[in-house]
Amino acid sequence: MPDQNARPGGTLFGAVFDRGGVATGDMAWLQALLDAEAGLARALERAGLAPAGAGEAVTRAAVAADFSAAEVAEVASASGLTGNPVPGLARVLARRVAGAAAAAVHQGATSQDIMDTAAMLLARRAIDVTRRDLLAASAAAARLASAHRDTLMIGRTLLQQAVPVTFGLVAAGWLAGLDAAVTGLDDVRASRLAVQFGGAAGTLASLGGGAGAGGREIPRVPALLAEELGLMAAPLPWHTERLRVIDVAVAMARVSAALGKIARDVTLLAQTEVGEVREGGGEAGGASGGPRRGGSSAMPNKSNPVASVAILGCTRQVPGLLATLVASAEQEHQRAAGAWHAEWQPFSDILRLAGSAASWGADLLGGLTVDSARMAANLTASGGLPLAEQVSVLLAGPLGRPRAHDLVASAAARAVSSGLPLRDVLLAVPEVEQAGVTADQLDAALDPAGYLGASAQFTDAALRAHEQGAFHG
């Protein structure tokens, strides 16, 4: 079956990297630019700087879907002459507005005002869509953590078996990361998305912001523009102070990091030799046996973890994009010579890729199948070796910690080389019997259910934090 989240008529790689509802393509940018221009016209009218009805007239004309192919092409072509698409857009938009209202198009603004404000609008829309998918993913992670609170599995450090954990604790860790990513998005949306409006060099001199009897007059237009667009009003223009752009990108990078961690865990746990989880969506493609998720072009038997792989394909690109945005924050004087231009594509891409990863993440966690029997089998396959630490604690009383550690390490090595269970090797060591340790005590120390520490409490704490937080839509 075709992927229901893939966009019709999308690009060749769009079903992987452009999944879900985040839109940052040409038409999304065009509409955001038009929204900024329309909001400015409405703000100018409210400030008495544009004719009555100008705001409504410009807003009616500022609909990207109504632009002809020739008009879109004109805007695109003009960007090669002016270094950005706004001058061409302003000309085309002004032609679409009748009468005196056309004078309100782009009045008092510089190109960067419109581009940066549009970027903030684009970011807000991307955050809202990404947040929705993250909430679906976190709800699924919470269900997994609750259902598998006591499901034993082996923990792994440095990719080697370590000590027992529960799958509930693993899922709780995923949940905590997702919830933190949602909080980061909320913080940025509430406090960092601001309009840009400063005119040619950040003074708004063209709108007459001179000194008044009570001191320097603060123009009303930026605040009115913020109200019209539902963004913050910044204390002053931020043309070459780019931390807002970086903050948005960091919030999206945090989303990517949380999802990448989950996807990497799933790819490892889904390996054939491990087999502790598997992705959903791998059914045969209908009666005709058509394409199915996870299929291979060469190996009919394969069921690949496509959602996890797609998430990682998205998230691996994000750090480089973030680095470009941070590097581009070094900008000259009142307008950057190239660094501002270098932001546009990586900013768009980081929104798109994080949003795509979030959509995949909701799908992945919502359909994840847990094989608790395989987890139990893998836990016992090593013959008690993961409980060596607990045995060392048991023997430390009579033997002392250093001697107990060395004795158990030697026994573990013999168990590995001989293929015998650690229990049998330890019971054959004279010092164990001399220490007064009984077989029952040894069996208790080698019981994985008795060596989970605070796993259940940590899982419960993550679930409580999730329930108490604003993570429910």
- The residues carrying an active-site annotation are 296, 335
Whose CA is closest to 47, among 207, 236, 199? Answer: 207
Three-state SS string across the chain, please? CCCCCCCCCCCCCHHHHCCCCCCCCHHHHHHHHHHHHHHHHHHHHHCCCCCCCHHHHHHHHCCHHHCCHHHHHHHHHHHHHHCCCHHHHHHHHHHCCCHHHHHHCCCCCCHHHHHHHHHHHHHHHHHHHHHHHHHHHHHHHHHHHHHCCCCEEEEEECCEEEEEEEHHHHHHHHHHHHHHHHHHHHHHHHHCCECCCCCCCCCCHHHCCCEECCEECCCCHHHHHHHHHCCECCCCCCCCCCHHHHHHHHHHHHHHHHHHHHHHHHHHHCCCCCCCEECCCCCCECCCCECCCCCCCCCCCCCCCHHHHHHHHHHCCHHHHHHHHHHCCCCCCCCCCCHHHHHHHHHHHHHHHHHHHHHHHHHHHHCCEECHHHHHHHHHCCCCHHHHHHHHHHHHHHHCHHHHHHHHHHHHHHHHHHCCCHHHHHHCCHHHHHCCCCHHHHHHHCCHHHCCCCHHHHHHHHHHHHHHCCCCC
CB 331 within 8 A of CB 240: yes
Beta bridge partners, 212, equal 215
Half-sphere exposure of 230 (CA within 13 A, CB side): 8
Tokens at 377, concatenated: 């089998």
225: nearest Cα among 111, 335, 91, 113 = 113
- Residues belonging to the chain: 473
User: The tokens of 263 are what?
Assistant: 């996807």
386-395 burial, b if ≥16 CB within 10 A, otherwise e? bbbebbbebb
Structure-token match 């909001």, residue found: 39
Report the Cα–Cα distance between both ends of the chain, in Å, rounded.
29
